[in-house]
Structure 1
Amino acid sequence: MARAGSGRAGGSRRGRGQRRPPTWEISDSDTEGPAGAEAATRVRDPAEELREAAEVLRRLRPEQAVRRLVVLMDPAILEDAGADILMEALDALGCEYRVEPQRPARSLRWSRVKPDPCPLSVPPELWAVDEQDVLLLLEPEEFLQGVVQLTQIRGPTCSVPWITPESPACLHLAVIGLEAYLWSRQPSTQETRQPGCPAVAQAEVAVGWPEVEEALVLLQLWANVDVLLVATWQELSQHVCAFTRALAQRPFKQSRESGAFSFCTAGRWAAGEQVKRDGTGLRGAWWRQIRQFNRVSAAVADAVVAAFPSPRLLQQAYVACGTEQERLALLADLPVKMGEGVRLRRVGPDLSRRICLFLTTTNPDLLLDLGS
């Protein structure tokens, strides 16, 4: 620290009985040294961490996250009069939409607005800037042309329509009014018998619901593409809003599922066990972890936890064993307390083996339960 206005040691007065108000300037060196390092490594206040976690959860909740989704709409969609219904539905949902050119044309894409500042406690992948899902709107004629290509042109040279191999997007198709279009295209007897009918028209006439259903199966199996068949723009708008809400819930669900151990949570929910900072509740979490094994009752978990109150103590016991067989059978003879008049039971070799492998194996693909 350096005091401003002190030309030499002791400073000077500007008048008798009057002192210059002390003002202070921070030099660059004040943030260096042990004091600065100590401040930089200072432990954060637990209350501050809780407030930040609560704010993160608030931002991730669907009602808040839907406001961070933007529906990007191709201008070609606005050429249809029913597009007003879609935009009114998005307004009612509280989701922003923008009209921007998209590839392919007549498609919808979703973009997620990254919060500023982005919470450090949330993995960056939860705030993906752009979603990979694309909804492509097709006219009935265009969709039926693709149906002909899928159902009549078989073999390895047949490519799936509307899909470019280099595109990483997850494609969804939507066709409005296909059923009404097929009914209107049903030919009369005289038209079907005319020999001079063009090949394209004959192929278009030959397409009916059996061919459409076959094409839907092929699209699902070959390209993992689902097709939405709706009668009106109202139905399409309902689907787009439902899909938007699902995308808004995705980060919240991923944040809840990203916990490595669902049985050890910050609060009591979904059969979770509350664990405090002083370690209270860890034994209950260990008991619930034992219960997650197949065919393990509460009494059996009580027996294991009573003998080894923590997984660390059980691991130390495994290290002390001389042979692999001794480790696998370490818990087999532990008595299990049952009700009065019930024959004494033991943990058994199967569960003993599974718990041993669970705590000692280095193979992530090892099958613990041979009975599954």
Structure 2
Amino acid sequence: MSAVHRANTWDISDSENESEDIKSSSCVTLDQNTSINESNTSPPSTQAEDSSISADGVKISGRRRRRREEVLEEREAKERRREEKDKLKEKKLQEQQRRKEAAERLNLLKPENFIKSLTAHIHAVLLQDAGCDVLLRNLDGLQWRNQIENQGLPNSIRWTQQALQQTEDEDKNEVIEEDQVLMVISHNELEDMVMSHKTVTNQSALIGEMYEGSESLLNHLYKYLTTTAGKVVTILAIISHQQRSGSWGEDDLDLHLSQHRLDTEELLVHLQLYWNVAVHFLFGWQEVTDHVVALTKALSKRPYKALCGAPDLGFCMNGSWSAGVRVDRDGHGLAQVWTRQIQQLNRVSPAMAKAVTTAYPSPSLLLKAYEELPSEEERRRLLADLPVVGGAKERRVGPDLAGRVHRLLTSQNPHLLLD
């Protein structure tokens, strides 16, 4: 009991109160430390969480930015590819248009099409001769354009062509005048020209000088040649003759030129040397018509021939029949070249050339075969018995082609005729 009492007494003692105060203070201290620790521990976790979120946010935004840049780059690349494709397509269309225009121009320059753009201008003085109807009927029958005019050189026939429209700046209706001019005169007009020339010569005038007081055709011709540069005038003298002779003799000249043969020859030489004017003697308007038709056809062929001679067109047109053989780097195509070389000889068909090149695929093999034979006769007849495949019956190359091929490959004479 005393122990219990002492315990109870201890419970209510002053020291107990102090200890309780200490406990309470210690508890308070622990509680504060706990709260401090909790306060110290909670912000780092929150900051770390915030930092991780912000870091994740930066990563996400960086990925989005990179993704956006990649999308922009892909879009720009697509735009560039689209622009390149459009440029290539436009270039291809322009090339096709250029080829189409070139083909159209080439087609227009062909003689059968270009002759439709030519117009024959006939001087009205020629209509006074009834024989001119032959010329007009032939031109109308050929459906060639002709026009009657009352200007320029009298008794003349000239040509103009409709200019081809090359560019948009050029005038589509531009007319180009040809340099060829025909002057059709009769027998009496030729005599007048001879007398006019003789009169000027007797007056001691300079060669080629015009006589102002004369109104003859010769004076008109001199004026035309003086004022118009680049013209080529040809005089067609119509001689009335029932029977055509092959060449002019002295009797014919004396008959048709009324004893003015020497004066006429002097005029012809003068026109040829000083004015570049040639004189042709024809029998009737039918021959004049034939000359006009031939000259018109020659004028229609001239642009196409000039274009074929240009370096941009080349000699051969495109096509398998005229194109060369393509030889690759590996030698593919040489056999066809060898066949073509044999086929260039006269009277050699593709089957005969194929027979030679099949037996000897290259020229070196054929030369080696020639060297192995002892005599010249055997070499010439080496290819004669080769069979030619094709045709209704069997045949051989023959000694003729065999000899020509031998001369082609073994001859040292560059002027030797192979045929």
Pick the structure with more helix per residue: 2
Rg larger for: 2
TM-score, with structure 1 as normaliser: 0.50
